[in-house]
Chain A
Amino acid sequence: MSERQIQLEVLRYNPETDSAPRFQTYAVPCLNEWVVLDALNYVKENLDPTLSYRWSCHMAVCGSCGMMINGEPKLGCKAFIHEYGDSIRVEPLAHFPIERDLVTVVEDFIAKLASVKPYLIPREDQPISAGEFKQTPAELMKFKQYTLCINCMLCYAACPQYGLVPEFVGPAALALAHRYNQDSRDGGRDQRQEVVASDEGVWECSFVGACSEVCPKHVDPAGALQQIKVASTIDWYKEHLMPWVKK
């Protein structure tokens, strides 16, 4: 098995001892098929047990291990060592406050996720005894892509708007609202509009598109946001130019 010596430069921060974050470098013997997360685990197990970071599934589905690797938002478990040179810089996810080492404070994201009412608000009630809501494969395809978000927040780290305007609801939360808006069983779009179509909602977005570029699950949140803008604009015109038409 091929081995490489990698210099892992990790941004450390301990609020009890540090006034500001500082880099610490570790020499890690890596196997070529490793991911950066494997290198971090090596550090923690063999070199420095005080290094703190989040991880769990190691298969890019739990969304825990988002971090900046050579300045790019990535999942630690999907950043392959063989794609990098001999020196790799690891920092906590951008645009979130640092709690400790690679652990960020994510409460803002959690709050924004909840604010868009990301749950099914059924168009019509149906008892369990009546069985499932019918939904054709075509109807499922309409929103399926937007169900794939693992809440890893790489999009928030990539979005320059979120970095400059922290009130921005953000890519993942708005894409999740779109997921429900597009679901044929849902009738809650109006209830979500207050947050979704607000100034801090989709209208804060200027379609940089960085979010979709970094998304590890190809959710394309940028697309979702533009689609919301198009739909909201059409609504606005209908409401003002054809008020006799019910939505």
Chain B
Amino acid sequence: MEIIKTDVAIVGAGGAGLRAAIALAEADPKIRIALISKVYPMRSHTCAAEGGAAGVIKPDDSLDLHFNDTVGGGDWLCDQDAVEYFINEAPKELIQLEHWGCPWSREPDGSVAVRPFGGRKIKRTWFAADKSGFHILHTLFQTSLKYPTIQRFDEYYATDLLVDDGRCQGFTALEIRSGQMKQFQAQAVIIAGGGGGRMFPFTTNGAIKTGDGMALAYRAGVPLKDMEFVQYHPTGLPNTGILLTEGCRGEGGILVNKHGRRYLQDYGMGPETPVGQPVLKTMELGPRDRLSQAFWHEQKKGNTVSTKWGDCVLLDMRHLGEKKINERLPFVRDLSISYLGMDPVKEPIPIRPVVHYMMGGIHTDIQAATPLPGLFAAGECACVSINGANRLGSNSLTELLVFGRRAALSAIAHVQSGLATSNDAALAAKAQDSENRIRALFAKSQGTDSIAGLRKEMMHTMEEGAGIYRTGEELAKTCDKIAELRQRYAGIALHDKTSVYNTDLLQALELGSMLDCAEAVAVGARDRTESRGAHQRLDFTARDDQNFLKHTLAYYHPTEPPRLDYLDVVITKSQPGVRDYSGAKK
């Protein structure tokens, strides 16, 4: 097996991975950097993020406000020391991105503009029209081309971490175009592989979001943290799940039910604000979990609009006018017209909540280090945790930058700390085991299960039991179902047994990652008998700080469900309080 030796290897070339690579290259031109991704970097799902990235720069804003918004928005499950670090670094990272050429939207005086976003007391979301993630990703990718020390391995799928002597020393990866396995030998590995929203049937996530990075660490013994917290974005297109950014509401869009009522005021987010003049942190600018939950209740009451794509509520932006929509939300208009045949300038758009983001992920500390020496993680695949039980919109893009860089700095420190020598023979043997595991898939003969079939069953049971509202009974069923699917997965065979660009094999491996991660979600949700943030239970409706002001840690087992443990949340300045999104007190 070909061995590629490098100093730091990064798995995933989206926002976090690219930021880490650039940080490494800038810190030390002698460091060898291998940047591996299963897709070309500009295909990473960072490109689909629309709304913006939050950071404190305006004089009427303060770091404390960003801190409080984030911690409250996360229902006090955020580690406050991590949030402190995050909000402090955020402005610098956003300015750095601007210095690299990011086309942020501007005020007339030439300074960067900010827009309002959900759950925030002050507007602080930097944006580039309504394609912020796209511009951030392309700015980072294009900037990365400046550095000759960043060696890219495009369309390589990382299969197993190589752990020896208690340290992570690299991984095996499949070169997709040739079907050959390669061994990457590195002194530090950063995982930035993204989330796993595709385990749900209805999601804004692209096809590639299958939790491979999380599974990679998980299978190597690193716990996944807070997996049960899955965010539903309130405004997705009903047929395709395509995202309509929160910026729609930031610019003044309103949500109405079938009676034309702005129903959010019935769920603690009132009083009703004047149309087109949103008041921060109330009504349509409440936090995402509250908005998605309101939809669920409206649906139960029969107040939703029945469309051919299912039940929806309406996002009305007509009052914004064509000029403002074309200037601030051109992509949203294009998407509505293309995929729904409806023009937001002329009519309200039917939308519904769709799975969007996973707050949980690979357990890391505030320096992006996992419990496994030599392994670091950043971005959606990681859980530091700055997002807690519910992420505020526009914190994620900033998170990529702050923790992408932080992971790089930690990796450099690890590399420079003078390490023990590596046992090449032991690593090669482990690499061979990894290859054998993949080859075994080719040897199996056709059974009754198909990859697509198992995937559908997984998506169905996740939506049924681990959706917006959960019960112990449904969750138990989902846990059993996932366990059963994992067993059946072990017997799966490939239809395509060729080597060159075998996407049947890829989908099989991605399904394995999703099943492992899905089990962590379901089991974590079943055992968290409270409601907090995005994890809402009909049988345990209150938040239980006495017993559950802690993170869930899930430890992988190859055949059994994960073993769970708990870790206290780091509280510094902000004691758990009430999340009040009503405008009444203002």
Contact = CB atoms under 8 A, between A and B. Distances in A.
- Within the complex, are A and B direct neighbours (CB within 8 Å)? yes
Interface of A: 1, 14-17, 33, 44-46, 48-64, 78, 99-101, 103, 105-106, 110, 113-114, 117-120, 122, 126, 128, 131-137, 139-140, 143-144, 147-148, 150-151, 176, 180, 183, 185-186
B43 A110 contact: no
A52 B57 CA distance: 47
Given A119-B145, A122-B99, A56 B111 contact: no
Given A131-B111, A137-B107, A140-B103, 16 more contacts: A15-B500, A16-B498, A33-B341, A50-B495, A51-B503, A57-B47, A57-B207, A59-B339, A62-B43, A62-B47, A118-B142, A120-B100, A133-B99, A134-B110, A148-B131, A150-B134
Contacts of A53: 503
A53 B104 CA distance: 34
Q: Is the interface of A mostly helix, strand, loop or mixed?
A: loop
Contacts of B452: 44-46, 49
Interface string B484-505: 0000000000111011111110
Contacts of B131: 61, 148
Contacts of B105: 137, 140
A78 to B, nearest CB: 7
Interface in B235-282: 239-240, 242-243
Contacts of B554: none
A136 B106 contact: yes
Contacts of B502: 52
A100 B95 contact: no
B18 to A, nearest CB: 12
B145 A118 contact: yes
A50 B206 contact: no
A100 B178 CA distance: 10
Given A1-B308, A128-B95, A150-B42, A52 B142 contact: no
B26 interface: no
Interface in B89-103: 92, 95-96, 98-101, 103
Given A45-B452, A58-B240, A147 B135 contact: yes
| 5 A-B pairs closest in CB distance | A120-B101, A134-B110, A56-B206, A45-B452, A100-B501
B48 A59 contact: yes
Q: Is the interface of B mostly helix, strand, loop or mixed?
A: loop
Interface in B10-57: 39-40, 42-45, 47-48, 57
B585 interface: no
Contacts of B451: 49
B338 interface: yes
B146 A119 contact: yes
A62 to B, nearest CB: 5
Nearest to B103: A147
Nearest to A136: B110
B500 A14 contact: yes
B145 A17 contact: no
A56 B45 contact: yes
Given A52-B501, A52-B503, A61-B134, A137 B106 contact: yes
Interface string B201-224: 000001110000000000000000
A140 B107 CA distance: 11
Nearest to B453: A45
Nearest to B341: A33
Contacts, number: 155
29 contacts: A16-B499, A16-B500, A44-B452, A49-B450, A49-B495, A49-B504, A50-B495, A52-B503, A56-B207, A58-B206, A58-B240, A58-B242, A59-B335, A60-B338, A62-B44, A62-B48, A99-B177, A110-B154, A117-B145, A120-B100, A120-B143, A131-B95, A132-B98, A133-B98, A134-B110, A135-B106, A136-B108, A137-B106, A137-B108
Contacts of B108: 136-137
B571 interface: no
B450 A63 contact: no
Contacts of A122: 99
A180 B102 CA distance: 11
A58 B242 CA distance: 8
B496 to A, nearest CB: 4
Contacts of A137: 105-108
Contact of B501 (A1, A60, A99, A120): A99
A122 B100 CA distance: 8
A9 to B, nearest CB: 20
Contacts of B504: 49-50
Most chain B CB atoms below 10 A, which of A1, A16, A56, A60: A56
B138 A147 contact: yes
B112 interface: yes
A103 B177 CA distance: 9
Contacts of A62: 42-45, 47-48, 206
A236 B465 CA distance: 69
A133 B308 CA distance: 49
A117 B101 CA distance: 13
A183 B207 contact: no
B495 A103 contact: no
Contacts of A33: 239, 339, 341
A98 B211 CA distance: 29
A68 B42 CA distance: 21
Contacts of A17: 498
Contact of A14 (B45, B110, B498): B498
B463 to A, nearest CB: 18
Contact of A61 (B48, B99, B154, B494): B48
A106 B40 contact: yes
A27 B274 CA distance: 53
A87 to B, nearest CB: 23
A135 B109 CA distance: 8
Contact of B47 (A48, A61, A136): A61
Nearest to A46: B452
A120 B207 contact: no
